[in-house]
Amino acid sequence: MRIVIGQGSCGIAAGAEKVRKALLNTNINAEAISITGCIGMCYLEPIVDIYDDEGKLTRLVKVSENDAEAIASFVESGDASAVEKLVVSDEDSEFLSKQTRIALRNCGIINPEKIDAYVEAGGYTALKKALCDMSAEDVIEVIKTSGLAGRGGAGFPTWFKWNAARQSEGDEKYLICNADEGDPGAFMDRAVIESDPHNLIEGMLIGAYAIGAKHAVVYVRAEYPLAIKRLKNAIKQATEKGIIGENIFGSGFSCDFTIKAGAGAFVCGEETALIESLEGHRGMPRLKPPFPAQSGFWRKPSNINNVETFANVSWIINNGGEAFAAMGTEGSKGTKVFAVTGKVKRSGLVEIPMGKTLKDVIFDIGGGMKTDKPFKAVQMGGPSGGCIPAELIDTVIDYKALGATGAIMGSGGMVVMDESTCMVGMAKFFLDFTAKESCGKCIHCRIGTKRMLEMLERITKGEGKEGDIELLEELCYSIKDGALCGLGQTAPNPVLTTIKYFRDEYEAHIKEKRCPAGECSDLIEYKIVADKCKGCTLCARNCPVNAISGTVKNPHVINTEKCIKCGKCYTSCKFGAIVKE
């Protein structure tokens, strides 16, 4: 028997380390217990996978330290009844079975802290093939055939960037990985680094060989301590085995690796701002041209791709560009990883071929709404993306189709919303984020996003006035046209798409001083329906400010002057006696 415990950030946060320690205190052989990263089923963590001697898998989910003895009993006897309540359901198993995994192929399967586990899974064979059997031009041609586009947001052809950097003059070049994943609700890159760091290293080394770089740099958010720890460990192991350093595989190619922990500025996801930060300056975008391929890090030719882009490279080299291009659509090849969060039953990491629909991801894989309320919209692409409404649920997932809705593919954040979500409030949430994250270099972004946020705050407080919607739209287009970098140019997208698809909600807030979703606290009031109230006192006991009065078995009353509209009474009432107006 082999026991593998999921120890990505999501698993550890759910208690996986406590489970591991509890299992070590049983009669299970400690050598049989190991760890893995995040398999993507974040909603079922902690996850414990048990492989018998023939390799048959028994997956246990939502495990606690109190289940350790039952697991030990199963390991010893083979009697599955001891862990029957923990075994993953057939329905939840579909979450993975309906995916096609390339970038995530090793995540949640191999031990991310042991290089031998990666090698046993076929790791570093693509690097050896590239260095020993292919020229740099051959590598670029395979990537070109694959149709791999940058997975960080813009979707720019990877081969083109590599080729531009290769053709730039200069003996000193840099390959940079952008792991500054800053979108709210996005955690794809973090999961790849935590779960399969050697795959990132291999993809980067192949990219460095292709462009002629001897230096590779990973710019990763300091808020990802586990990812940084495992990446450092992986770099150390690869260096000890001669996979990083001088004359790799006797090919004559040499490359070193460094890690830069960023301070978490969203603008540093923009490649020139990232370069400024790498050089020790304040993260602010540079004017382009020149592009990084001609003048990047330390004004040397540089190439920047994100984690997911590099995570596909070794698979493409081993399997051929045609195999990758066979998946997806005419203009969007291969697979794409999404972080599915929000009001969906099965939240986590999903990798599917381009060409699937939003409905396939949200309902077929994600299981639909975790509440009984209807699906309302999905925010694609984070603060730089936009809201796609329920009527467009059959939209195909590719760069062109998503762009036509007003949203973008982005890095892969997918926040699912039901009808209880206020779309004006959602636009305000993302504008608040981008306004705070603006570097301030250009007036359009620095001042424009602030003015838009102020207007949205007024509207959600019931202080909106006629003409606000039109003024918001005017500001949006001015910012898009005048902002210096991608952050400012895309910041208006959440506002523009919510106005486009949910204009009636804006009008209700402005004209009727009403929030149709019942989410804006300044525009709602909680009341108790007397003939439904049983006098159970549960609402009064849950009220943090003692705004509810009444006696047992008699109708209660809410003092609206004291009420802070926290909603605890509404969610705690079992009889539907409390309403929002």
Exposure string for 271-285, b = 16+ CB within 10 A, e = fewer: bbbbbbbbeeeebbb
Q: Which helix (H) or strand (E) holds 60?
A: strand 57-61
Residues of the chain with CATH 3.30.70.20: 525-580
**pLDDT over 90 (residue 155):** no
Specify the residue for token string 């270099």: 441
pLDDT of residue 184: 84
| Closest residue by Cα to residue 190 from 111, 306, 344, 279 | 306
* Per-residue pLDDT tens over the stretch 318-364: 999 999 999 999 999 999 999 999 999 999 999 999 999 999 999 99
Percentage of the chain lying above the pLDDT 70 cut: 100
Which CATH entry fits the domain spanning 423-511: 1.20.1440.230, 3.30.70.870, 3.40.1080.10, 3.40.50.12160? 1.20.1440.230
Average pLDDT, the chain: 95
Task: Give how far the C-alpha of residue 371 lies from the chain's centroid of Cα atoms, to the nearest Å.
Answer: 22
**pLDDT over 90 (residue 489):** yes
Exposure string for 474-483, b = 16+ CB within 10 A, e = fewer: ebbeebbeeb
Q: What is the mean pLDDT of residues 20-31?
A: 95
CA end-to-end span of the chain, whole Å?
58
Specify the residue for token string 């009636």: 504
Residues of the chain with CATH 1.20.1440.230: 423-511
- Note whether 538 and 572 are within 8 A (CB): yes
Residues of the chain with CATH 3.10.20.600: 335-418
pLDDT of residue 545: 96
**pLDDT over 90 (residue 137):** yes
Q: What is the mean pLDDT of residues 264-284?
A: 94
Give the CATH fold of the 2-94 domain.
Answer: Glutaredoxin (3.40.30)
What lies within 8 Å, CB to CB, of 446 at 6+ separation is 438, 439, 440
| Closest residue by Cα to residue 152 from 400, 388, 409 | 409
What lies within 8 Å, CB to CB, of 240 at 6+ separation is none
Percentage of the chain lying above the pLDDT 90 cut: 92
- Note whether 530 and 432 are within 8 A (CB): no
* Cα–Cα distance for residue pair 385/414, rounded to 1 Å: 10
pLDDT of residue 114: 98
**Segments of 263-347 assigned E as strands:** 302-306, 335-342
- Strand-pair category, 375-380 with 335-342: unpaired
Q: How many CB atoms lie within 10 A of CB 66?
A: 10
* Cα–Cα distance for residue pair 542/571, rounded to 1 Å: 10
Model confidence at 196, in pLDDT bands (50, 70, 90)?
Answer: very high
CATH class, domain 335-418, is: alpha beta
* Per-residue pLDDT tens over the stretch 213-244: 999 999 999 999 999 999 999 999 999 999 99
Model confidence at 371, in pLDDT bands (50, 70, 90)?
Answer: confident
* Length of the chain (residues): 581
pLDDT of residue 474: 97
**pLDDT over 90 (residue 479):** yes
pTM: predicted TM-score of the whole model, two decimal places: 0.94
* 3-state SS class at 354: coil
- Strand-pair category, 386-389 with 375-380: antiparallel
* 3-state SS class at 258: strand
**pLDDT over 80 (residue 154):** no
Q: Which helix (H) or strand (E) holds 528?
A: strand 526-528
What lies within 8 Å, CB to CB, of 255 at 6+ separation is 175, 205, 208, 209, 213, 214, 215, 216, 244, 245, 248
Please tell me the chain's helix, strand, coil percentages from 3-state DSSP, rounded to the nearest 5. Answer: 45, 15, 40
* Cα–Cα distance for residue pair 123/365, rounded to 1 Å: 29
| Closest residue by Cα to residue 534 from 514, 545, 558, 550 | 550
**pLDDT over 90 (residue 460):** yes
Q: What is the mean pLDDT of residues 129-146?
A: 98
- Note whether 134 and 125 are within 8 A (CB): no
Phi, psi values for residue 33, rounded to 5°: -100, 125
Between 177 and 78, whose confidence is greater?
A: 177
304: β partners: 176
Specify the residue for token string 């005048």: 482
pLDDT of residue 338: 96
Which CATH entry fits the domain spanning 525-580: 3.40.50.2300, 3.30.70.20, 3.40.50.1980, 3.40.47.10? 3.30.70.20
Helices (H), 406-556: 423-437, 443-460, 468-482, 486-490, 493-511, 538-542
Give the CATH fold of the 115-325 domain.
Answer: Rossmann fold (3.40.50)
* Per-residue pLDDT tens over the stretch 389-414: 999 999 999 999 999 999 998 888 89
Model confidence at 185, in pLDDT bands (50, 70, 90)?
Answer: confident
58: β partners: 50
Q: What is the mean pLDDT of residues 32-48?
A: 97
* Per-residue pLDDT tens over the stretch 84-118: 999 999 999 999 999 999 999 999 999 999 999 99
